Amino acid sequence: MIENADLTLVDWSRAQFALTAIYHWLFVPLTLGLSFILAIMETIYFKTGSEEWKRITRFWMTLFGINFAIGVATGIILEFEFGTNWSNYSWFVGDIFGAPLAIEGILAFFLESTFIAVMFFGWNKVSKKFHLLSTWLVAIGANLSALWILVANAWMQNPVGMAFNPETARNEMVSFWAVLFNPVAIEKFLHTISSGFLLGSMFVLGISAWYILKKRELYLAKRSMLVAAVFGLLSSLMVAYTGDSSAKTLAQVQPVKFASMEALAEGKTNAGLIAFGILKDSEVRVGERVMQDFVFKIEIPGLLSVLTGGDRDIYVPGIADLVSGNKEKGILSVSEKRERGKIARDLLIEFQDARAADDKVKTDSIKTLFSDTQFQDNYFRYFGYASVSKAEDVIPNVQISFYSFHLMVMLGFLFIIIFATAIYLLYKGDIEINRWFLWIALLSIPLTYVASELGWILAEVGRQPWIIQDLMTVSGAVSQIVSGSVITTFILFALLFTLLLVADVSIMLKQIKTGPKH
């Protein structure tokens, strides 16, 4: 439990943001993936001069446009919620968090918006070369938008490149490059856009499979399927690689999340990697929290230690180590972190009292202390722990973290198999007679959305109770507004977003049934 929190307000504010983010992410990954597929298809048209490839490109471009318009609407609402629902957060880190969002709006969004008009309405009005350039710039702009949003989110997972100013009680950016090249940001960006490429590829593959099943538009379907299968296979392999490197980084910067997604209650050397398992409550407790054990599991011995540190003898800390501490392994307990966080918080209160008393000597000495690197590393980095009342509150929902991660991984390997099989069948010329595969490709479209959403559920639920890792709890970040207003807007947004989603799906289904223009 977090101190001084209106849990109704906190829960509904979290629910509203989660609702908006989940709906928004139903549109974004298709935009990321389909934009580059369009660019590849138009490049083939530019090289070959084939009117059929122009027709193929324009068909998928129509579906891209429908999805893009609704994605922009939900994204704008998402950014406004930082000011309306999370004003304390915006005050505490707005100087840092606002920078990448501003760049996203000024650079990426305007680049994207400027050339999207040429891409849609410039056919036969501008040269082929300029139109092709516009399509590529839309793709690059869409993914640049994702870069800056993901840089901001990665900073919340691993805050770097900043210093705390006690005069304003705000964190201020001291190194833009440290924020941009945050290892979490690099891996999150590569993993997220490659998952978008995968989703866009499966979308094209599945719709093409539907056309083949209906024996319609076979030329378009087979050519589109080939582009999607090759691009999708490369993307799915990239997703697997970046996912592995992201997990290694998580083990260093968010070890509780890492232990939770593996349901590792107690640390061990030669730790095995759980390929899949079914959880149950165990007899192990951390404070009042009951830890998880397995009813059933498929485990690869020693692999978790190898993936984490390159050696089977590497010790992988469990949830109990990270909450209760492990002196032998140099792991601080939550209680120790809380004491250090309280020192930083009390010093901030002392600074404010000294400033109110116009005690310049004292304020100057405290300011100097806050700017000291050792103080930052040993005390202020645990500032958020001062708001944690019970040590076990830093444990996220283990079941959600574990199942989200493992289902996402299983689906990722399924997608690799589907794309590889599509390439094989297209090469053999047997794609039309293997109706079983065409149905699998079509029915796999929603699975890519499930996998994509599971990734974000793991990222955000696994970080709880932090909105900024170790620095600020979710409860401390929420705006002090009436919970009833949040409930009202939650219901309105739920209705609005559902209508937008229904409209998006209906329009796309109608366009798919109509098919490309002749």
Q: What is the 3-state secondary structure (H, E, C) of 218-260?
A: HHHHHHHHHHHHHHHHHHHHHHHHHHHHHHHHHHHHCHHHHHH
pLDDT at 3 over 70: no
Share of the chain above pLDDT 70, in %: 98
Instruction: Taking residues 35-62, report their average pLDDT.
Output: 94
Q: Write phi, then psi, for 358 (nearest 5 degrees).
A: 60, 40
Evaluate whether 28 touches 196 at the Cβ level (below 8 Å). yes
Q: Provide the pLDDT confidence category of residue 430 given band limits of 50, 70 and 90.
A: confident
Residue 411, pLDDT score: 95
pLDDT band of residue 307 (cuts 50, 70, 90) is: confident
Instruction: Judge if 177 and 273 occupy the same domain.
Output: no
The pLDDT of residue 518 is above 70: no
192 located within any domain: yes
Of 197-206, 226-235, 308-317, 404-413, the one with minimum mean pLDDT is 308-317
Query: Are 243 and 315 part of one and the same domain?
Result: no
- pLDDT tens column, 98-132: 888 888 877 766 777 788 888 988 898 999 999 99
Same domain, 285 and 198: no
pLDDT band at 37 (very low <50, low <70, confident <90, very high): very high
488 and 384 within one domain: no
Residues 354 and 321 in one domain: yes
Residues 357 and 268 in one domain: yes
pLDDT at residue 407 is higher than 90: yes
- Residue 55: its pLDDT value, please? 93
Name the domain boundary from 375, 396, 417.
396
Does the pLDDT value for residue 5 go beyond 70? no
- Residues 94 and 243 reside in one and the same domain: yes
Predicted TM-score (pTM) of this structure: 0.91
pLDDT in the model for residue 2: 42
How far, in Å, CA of 153 to CA of 460, rounded? Answer: 10
113 domain residue, yes or no: yes
Is pLDDT at 439 greater than 50 in this prediction? yes
The chain-wide mean pLDDT, for the chain, equals 90
| Interval 4-26 mean pLDDT | 83
168 inside domain: yes
Residues 6+ apart with CB under 8 A from 128: 46
Give me the percent of the chain exceeding a pLDDT of 90.
53
* Mean pLDDT along residues 333-361: 92
For residue 59, is it within any domain? Answer: yes
Residue 374 resides in a domain: yes
Which of 371, 396, 421 is the C-terminal boundary of a domain?
396
Q: 87 and 198: one domain?
A: yes
Average pLDDT over residues 12-41: 91
Domain boundary among 377, 396, 415: 396
Q: Are residues 152 and 63 in the same domain?
A: yes
The stretch 307-313 carries a mean pLDDT of 82
Res. 395: pLDDT tops 70: yes
- Claim to verify: residue 359 and residue 373 sit in the same structural domain: yes
* Lowest mean pLDDT segment, chosen from 76-85, 182-191, 226-235: 76-85
Counting the structural domains of the chain, the total is: 2
Task: Say yes or no: 368 and 410 in one domain.
Answer: no
Give 1's pLDDT tier (boundaries 50, 70, 90). very low
Confirm whether 1 is domain-assigned. no
Same domain, 81 and 151: yes
Q: 316: alpha, beta or left, given left = phi > 0 and alpha = psi -120 to 50?
A: beta
Half-sphere CA count of 205, side-chain side, radius 13 A: 37
Domain, as residue range, for 78: 7-254+397-461+463-514
Least confident of 53-67, 141-155, 283-297, 419-433: 283-297
Classify residue 367 by burial, with Cβ atoms within 10 Å: 0-12, 13-18, 19+.
middle
